[in-house]
Structure 1
Amino acid sequence: MMYDLIVVGSGPGGLKAATRAATAGLKTALVEKSDIGGTCLNWGCIPTKMFLGATAASPLLHTQVKAKTVTGSLDFSLPSLVQKKDRFIKGTRSAAEKQLISLGVDILKGTAAFSSPTAITVTNDEGSTEVTFKKLIIATGSMPSAFPGLEPDGDCVLNSSHVLTLTEAPESLIIVGAGAIGLEMGDFFSRLGTKITIVEALPNLAPSEDPDVGDTFRKILKREKWGIRTGEKVQSLKTVDGNAVLTFESGETLTADKALMAAGRTPASQELNAAAAGIECVGAGWITTDDHLLAAENIYAIGDVNGRTLLAHAADHQACYAVDHASGKTTAAYESGPMPACIYGHTEVMRVGPNTAELQKAGHTVETSTAMLVANSIAQSYGSTQGFVKVLWVENKVHGIVAIGHGVSHLVTGATIMVKQQWSLKDVHSIIWAHPTLDEALEMALIAPRKPA
């Protein structure tokens, strides 16, 4: 069968692409080898935020306990949380599938592999079927990395998918990787009483963020009694006698009930037989794309698999562009604009635009202005005053914004607009900032004195 557009993968990018294409009147098929929704819905963004949301009261109430304004205790039921998460995900999958069908999208269950530059073979338990296409979008995403000697075994050494199925909180948990996954999962399990030790090979926590973010995280997590080991490389991580045992390159070992391997992602491109379509891959299998997200003639690669930005909303944005380009609605090169990113939990991180090092590498002279959350009335009312908002300026224009602290993810859309429009101080004074709000911390950072970065 010939399709105007085939989408391979049903994560955020794949779902958006299939929906947009069908709405535009294209004969569309969506290929998915597993569950509709991809990593984000089933094993990533959504279940982790459900866990964090369901337990969000815990750190806030413990802050009030320390202030002697509250007494009592909280007991969370992890089995109930898992059941709630599973019900929600199942319902969301079902709703997404029904919407696709209502739009006329053919859902092809199975693994896709290119058989030529204009055809794929879809294989499942019932056999193989070849389908042809005029255009195709690869949206297969990524999966947890497995480094030699550190492979998750599903017993005591877990990956980010395994850990979401636990029905009993471990007494102790080693987390390898201090990025978003490691920090968010550590936050959640610490709320359940688990003793957390986080290990990062690079010098800073949240190593992809501003160094001041990592320093603030360190101070906060030390107060919360986390074990923190940075700048140390891991030699092995294994299940030994019913425990997770981590061995550093120095020979020192750590032991815990469980360990979470949260160090990176790898592209899910290995099964595509990409070479048959003339598609080039680099490194672990990241698909090379041009300025129009094309990996080959009439074949696009969007989202994690192209290695540009491993974020669900990046895939969503690229999906809209790819469908519009495929249908002739645009001929312009793809531009993402400033990319927003967040780390969630009791202590959150919000970042929009390039960081200081990236701006300086591009030849810019950077100034910064900062406001501390301790001066914000909303942060004070929640008893969560650690953190800051920092603005990066180039020639008196806003080029980046970063923040860390309780609730700062709620600043991200406003910050994205400011960076995209490259606000000046005049723009800051042109709007009314509501009081009392956390937004006022962003306002204070924008009008604060600047200093060289």
Structure 2
Amino acid sequence: MKYNLVVVGSGPGGLKAATRAASSGLKTALIEKADIGGTCLNWGCIPTKMYLGATASSPLLHTQEKAKTASGSLSFNLPTLMQKKDRFIKGTRSAAEKQLGSLGVDILNGTASFSNPTTLTVTNDEGSTEVAFDKLIIATGSMPTAFPGLEPDGDCVLNSSHVLTLTEAPESLIIVGAGAIGLEMGDFFSRLGTKITIVEALPSLAPTEDPDVGETFRKILKREKWGIRTGEKVQSLKTVNGEAVLTFESGETLTADKALMAAGRKPASESLNPAAAGIECIGAGWIATDDNLLAAENIYAIGDINGRTLLAHAADHQACYAVDHAAGKITAAYDSGPMPACIYGHTDVMRVGPNTADLQKAGHTVETSTSMLVANPIAQSYGSTQGFVKALWVDNKVHGIVAVGHGVSHLVAAATIIVKQQWTQDDVHSIIWAHPTLDEALEMALLAPRKPA
């Protein structure tokens, strides 16, 4: 079989690439070794947000109880929630498959491996098939990884996929890694009554974000009775006598019913045999790409696998570029523009563009202007006033925006536009900011006095 374009991997980037290519009239095949939708749909973005959405009323009620404006209790049925999640995912997969079929995309189930620079071998339980291509897009994504001695065993030590199969909330949960996965899953299970202890080797929670974000998280989570251990390295994490036992390098131990290993991901490139196509890999197997996302002649690598940005929407954006470049519609180098990113939960994080450290490393003099959510009427109405919105300025233009607090992920689209257009303070007055809204916290951050970062 030969195709104009073959896509390997059916996560957000792969699905977007296949549908865009077929819609452009290219004879297209999509190769997937597991479930359509990849990690994002089946084990990542979508199921975690369904869990957070279904239980969002719990922290809101707790906030009002503390303010003595309401009282009551909530209980959640985790098995039923899991069934709802599974039905939604199954339905979404089915809809994606129908769309691909209607566009004439051939879905090939199996593991793809390069035979040479223009041919793949696709292997499944029924045997092997040779697939030739004119152009190819690798979109195989990434998978959970762990450091030696911290490997999940599926018993009491779990990875981010295992934890979504729990039908009963553990009484206690140790989370190793205070990034998006750790904070979101901790938030969810704490709503079910689980005692959370979060462990991070770096000094701050949410360590890739602005240090003020991490400090805000620390204050909020301490009030919510989380155990917080930062700046401490873990030596081992094992199941011992039906419990998860974590041992620090200092020798101190922690025990819990379950532990979640939420630190680190690795590229899903091992089975591809990239060397046979002349593809260079970096580090653990991240595929090197040029300015046009090309890993080799006529072979593109998009999304997590190229190691640029491990976000679903980054893969989606790169997919559009790769297909259009392969079709000869564009020739310019790939430019993502300012990258938006969020962490979700009762306390959200939103960031667009580089952070302060990135800008300073690039040689820029950075100023910041900040508004505190305590001054915002919507934050006040929800009783969730901890947090802030901060603008990062270089030469009187906005180069980045960061926020932490309840609901701030809803500011991400406006923030992306502002950073992409590099607003000046005068631009703030070019639109009407609706009142009362959380958006006004963004407006006030842009108008606030600046100070050196």
- State TM-score, norm by structure 2: 1.00
Equivalent residue number for residue 352 of structure 1:
352
Equivalent residue number for residue 253 of structure 1:
253
Q: Deviations over 1:327-350 (max 9, x none)?
A: 000000000000000000000000
Structure 2 letter corresponding to 1:85: K
SS in 2 for 1:260: strand
For residues 426 and 415 of structure 1, the distance between their equivalents in structure 2, rounded to whole angstroms, comes to 16
- Determine whether 1:226 maps to 2:264: no
SS in 1 for 2:402: strand
For residues 285 and 233 of structure 1, the distance between their equivalents in structure 2, rounded to whole angstroms, comes to 25
SS in 1 for 2:216: helix
Q: Deviations over 1:8-59 (max 9, x none)?
A: 0000000000000000000000000000000000000000000000000100
For residues 196 and 60 of structure 1, the distance between their equivalents in structure 2, rounded to whole angstroms, comes to 19
For residues 347 and 396 of structure 2, the distance between their equivalents in structure 1, rounded to whole angstroms, comes to 30
Structure 2 letter corresponding to 1:27: K
Structure 2 letter corresponding to 1:427: D
More displaced stretch, 70-79 vs 333-342: 70-79
Report the CA distance between 1:281 and its aligned residue.
0.4
Report the CA distance between 1:96 and its aligned residue.
0.3
Report the CA distance between 1:258 and its aligned residue.
0.1
Equivalent residue number for residue 67 of structure 2:
67
Equivalent residue number for residue 382 of structure 1:
382
Q: Any stretches of 5+ residues in structure 2 without a counterpart?
A: none
SS in 1 for 2:435: coil
Q: Deviations over 1:189-227 (max 9, x none)?
A: 000000000000000000000000000000000000000
Report the CA distance between 1:422 and its aligned residue.
0.2
For residues 236 and 452 of structure 2, the distance between their equivalents in structure 1, rounded to whole angstroms, comes to 42
For residues 204 and 223 of structure 2, the distance between their equivalents in structure 1, rounded to whole angstroms, comes to 17
CA RMSD in angstroms comes to 0.4
For residues 65 and 138 of structure 2, the distance between their equivalents in structure 1, rounded to whole angstroms, comes to 50
Equivalent residue number for residue 166 of structure 1:
166
SS in 1 for 2:289: coil
Q: Deviations over 1:394-442 (max 9, x none)?
A: 1110000000000000000000000000000111011110000000000
For residues 42 and 208 of structure 1, the distance between their equivalents in structure 2, rounded to whole angstroms, comes to 25
Equivalent residue number for residue 263 of structure 1:
263
Equivalences for 1:26-425 in 2 at 5 Å?
26-425=26-425
SS in 2 for 1:429: helix
Equivalent pairs: percent with the same residue?
88
Structure 2 letter corresponding to 1:120: L
The count of corresponding residues between Structure 1 and Structure 2 is 453
- State TM-score, norm by structure 1: 1.00
Structure 1 letter corresponding to 2:125: D
Structure 1 letter corresponding to 2:198: I
Report the CA distance between 1:146 and its aligned residue.
2.1
For residues 69 and 371 of structure 1, the distance between their equivalents in structure 2, rounded to whole angstroms, comes to 27
Q: Deviations over 1:352-394 (max 9, x none)?
A: 0011111111111110000000000000000000000000001
SS in 1 for 2:48: helix
